Chains A and B, each alone.
Chain A
Amino acid sequence: MKKLMRNAVGAIGIDLRLLGMIGALVLLWIIFDLSTGGRFLTPRNLFNLSVQTASVAVMSTGMVFVIVTRHIDLSVGALLGFIAMVMGTLQLNILPEYLGFGHWSIWIITVVVGVLLGTLIGAFQGWVIGYLTVPAFIVTLGGLLIWRGAAWWVTQGQTVAPLDETFRMLGGGVVGTLGDQLSWAVGLAATIGAVVMMVLARRRKSSHGFKVKPLWAEYAMGGIVTALILGYVLVMNAYPLPKGAAKRYAEAQGIEYPADGLFISHGIAIPVIILLVVAIIMTIVAQKTRFGRYVFATGGNPDAAELSGINTRMLTVKVFALMGALTAIAAVIASARLGAVGNDLGVLDELRVIAAAVIGGTALSGGIGTIYGAIIGAVIMQSLQSGMAMVGVDAPLQSIVVGVVLVLAVFIDIIYRRRAGL
């Protein structure tokens, strides 16, 4: 039976580590759901969970590249705070002066400036690491202090609020969702896209005369993917807007608000869409571009990469620039979600991001890591935290548990790798 299962799993082509992580996540969810009396696995909580995860998950995809190349980035939390502060000031105090308050282009300019700033700062840190050969740990530890201080300086410590209304949509919340119809459309498009990719990959493989998976395995995989995507849309659409927001929505649409309330779906939150797009792009970059291939080759053997003609110094600059850009995107999500930028935005995020990547199977020794792993790692971290908060675990105990889980996860990963002979 066990062997049969293993063969089946092997045929479908999911690796065991992924299966293990998903298993751990599901187990976690069930435990929290039981101990909160069914409050954890509700559309509302899952919606909140997905929104809360987005910012850290976006950064963790970049951290995979950083760690795979045997570096580390401790500055992401502080950098997130600094970029968010600059974006907040830009959209609130600077741009309205020239464009007028609430101008439609404010959010676009803000995001573009934020991402450029993040890329530039990341590239600079990467340059110091790659060309001046100061260890990444030191450079980004310095960065942690520098950018946190710089964030304070932008507004002399004042909180910037309220942020531009359109900008706030990027953080989820009541207005920042797709609604039911658009969510279904996105879900369907994603399903079709996934299935088409699978068919094309199979065709390409058999055109080269390679062995392909048995057809039933392909169908099973397609079925699982479809069920996951559409199931997610279903759950998100099952979470209605709260009364007040539904009323405002009805008024805005010119519908009469019925006395017994109105069921208007949240649908998928915009930050989750952003995360999805980032995840797809980063996966393609990791698996299908030369840059991604060189990232992994350099992590596996820097000397070999260098001797193969790869410019590993420039590669370091690019990896950190990418990390900076993703930090800026995370800054957009985090600040838009709160609708304000305070001085403590992003504090300790660097540790959450690194933990997510590491729980997701990224090896600190370099060369190994996956984008999907890091995202699942981020979901596990966030589930742990919000689950324990819901159960009512004391805050100090929460961090103890998270710490233990982090070490345990890496230990299990080491054991797994040893057994698998990797």
Chain B
Amino acid sequence: MSTIETPEVNGLTQPAAAKPPVTPLLELHEMHVYYGAIQALKGINVTVGEGEIVTLLGANGAGKTTTLRTISGLLSPRSGEVRLNGERIDGIPPHHVVALGIGQSPEGRRVFPRMTVLENLQMGAYRFKSVPKAELERVYELFPRLHERRSQQAGTLSGGEQQMLAIGRALMGRPRVLLLDEPSMGLAPLIVAQIFSIIKEINAQGTTVLLVEQNAAQALKLSDRAYVLETGSVMMSGTAGELLADPRVREAYLGEGAGA
């Protein structure tokens, strides 16, 4: 359905010109982000449709984490827009972005180490007056391990358990879009497979997912579409199948030697 991205012919044309596969829920439009004088994102355009799993691929320093941090309001774009359901949300502080329905499991998991598993999950629901029971049950169903460990200090959990907690905590805020920053980082292959299958399940239950990954092969198998970032720009985009078949992607991100 979608094609390899056609470069914007003209910045002034209707932004809706590029036809996204489904109703766009989250849109990044010509987003430029700087760290001081250093430009981290050079006008990227990314669309995430309602109900999709979209992956951002790219090497270290390509701007994947910067993209998620900007969506969550931890960074403000110098120019360009972030839109949720057509409404601009760039420049809004993080705690308001969460309330609009964007949850994030940040890079490095960042669980609160001296809080219990349950307290961490409760923090995820901080925006609600009281902790929603249905959400807590859903998270415990997805991650039975978290239920077993609910009174344990989060800092004492294994890496995989901390990742589950970080995802579960983000789900507690009942997000419409879940941003996942490298959920496979530093985890054993078996745990990675488990986490990826849970991400699939979360998506099947109706949550839109924007995933950042270096583990391209597995991420693409799971995704509907993907974007490849290189030094702050979108180099390629398309359906997961298209990218999996693309020789450049195969060589650079799927670890296949330059055979030809």
The answer to whether A and B come from one shared complex is no
Residues of A within 8 A of B (CB): none
